[in-house]
Amino acid sequence: AVRKAAALGHAPRLYVQHVSTARGAALIAAARAEGLPVTGEVTPHHLTLTEEVWRGFDARFKVAPPLRTASDMEALIGALERGELAAIGTDHAPHTAAEKERDLENAPFGMPSLEVAFPLLYTELVEKRGLPLAVLIERMTSGPRAALGLAPARLAQGAPADLMLFDPATRCTVDPARFVSKARYSPWAGRELVGWPRLTLVAGREVWRDATLA
């Protein structure tokens, strides 16, 4: 699908969502090397989970496109760092725990990741793998905006404040019971993460604050 879309070559830009394989990332890199306006997006689950979790046929991990091999995951991380994949998109799917507890055939595709996306990627990519923090932030903020042709956000006096403050030190365990989303389950439940958000502003307005923040 990536190859066919890139071969069209007539659109002002091509943005490939949910890239999940090494082959897909390589095709995007090749198209970019030819000067084509192609980039891609990758999800937190394809950057942190592999098909190995499917051994128990647990519907929590049922997602489209499916989780891939460890080598695919490594290739995606490399493509993200090099900028061939310009954006991280959560692909947040807030199905209820009851919906995901159905048998595998009838459970819906998708998993929730919005509330853990930043600490998950900060822990797994920045802390454990040494990805520069600036790269992670760019791929979650200005990278997606640029890929979609949107004007960049600015941190400047008088500009609307769209920002998130996070704690780079405190470690907390993923507890779905504390989620704001209706999806009170998580593929990362029980995992200890660092880099949790403490405050979120949208257009200068406070929309969320950690209750423990004074």
**CA neighbor of 118 nearest in space, from 172, 61, 72, 70:** 172
Name the catalytic one among 91, 162, 175, 210.
Answer: 91
Asked whether the beta carbons of 130 and 124 are under 8 A apart, the reply is: no
91 is catalytic: yes
Q: Which residues pair with 165 in a beta bridge?
A: 199
Residue 187: alpha-carbon gap to chain centroid: 14
> Model confidence over 74-121: pLDDT tens digits?
999 999 999 999 999 999 999 999 999 999 999 999 999 999 999 999
Identify the sign of the CA torsion 126, 130, 131, 132: positive
Is residue 188 in a domain?
Answer: no
Asked whether the beta carbons of 96 and 142 are under 8 A apart, the reply is: no
Asked whether the beta carbons of 58 and 2 are under 8 A apart, the reply is: no
Is residue 33 in a domain?
Answer: yes
Per-residue pLDDT, averaged over 139-163, amounts to 91
Report cis status (omega within 30 of 0) of the bond before 65.
Answer: yes
pLDDT of residue 12: 66
Is residue 167 in a domain?
Answer: no
| H/E stretch holding 3 | helix 2-8
Q: Which domain holds residue 19?
A: 2-154
Is residue 203 in a domain?
Answer: no
Is residue 208 in a domain?
Answer: no
Identify the sign of the CA torsion 63, 95, 201, 196: negative
| The amino acid at 67 | L
**Percent of the chain at pLDDT exceeding 70:** 93
Residue 56 has pLDDT above 60, yes or no: yes
At residue 126, the 3 state secondary structure works out as helix
Dist CA 143 CA 10 (whole Å) = 22
| H/E stretch holding 29 | helix 22-33
> Model confidence over 5-32: pLDDT tens digits?
665 555 668 899 999 999 999 999 999 9
Is residue 139 in a domain?
Answer: yes
Is residue 55 in a domain?
Answer: yes
Is residue 213 in a domain?
Answer: no
Looking at the 3D structure of the chain, how many domains does it have? 1
Per-residue pLDDT, averaged over 50-71, amounts to 94
List, as one string, the DSSP characters of 66-106: PP--HHHHHHHHHHHHHTSEEEE---B----HHHHTS-TTT
Residue 214 has pLDDT above 50, yes or no: no
Q: Is 158 exposed, middle or buried (0-12, 13-18, 19+ CB in 10 A)?
A: exposed
Q: Which residues pair with 53 in a beta bridge?
A: none
Provide the CATH number for the domain around residue 28.
3.20.20.140
Q: How many beta carbons lie within 10 A of that of residue 181, not counting itself?
A: 17
pLDDT of residue 131: 98
Per-residue pLDDT, averaged over 52-71, amounts to 93
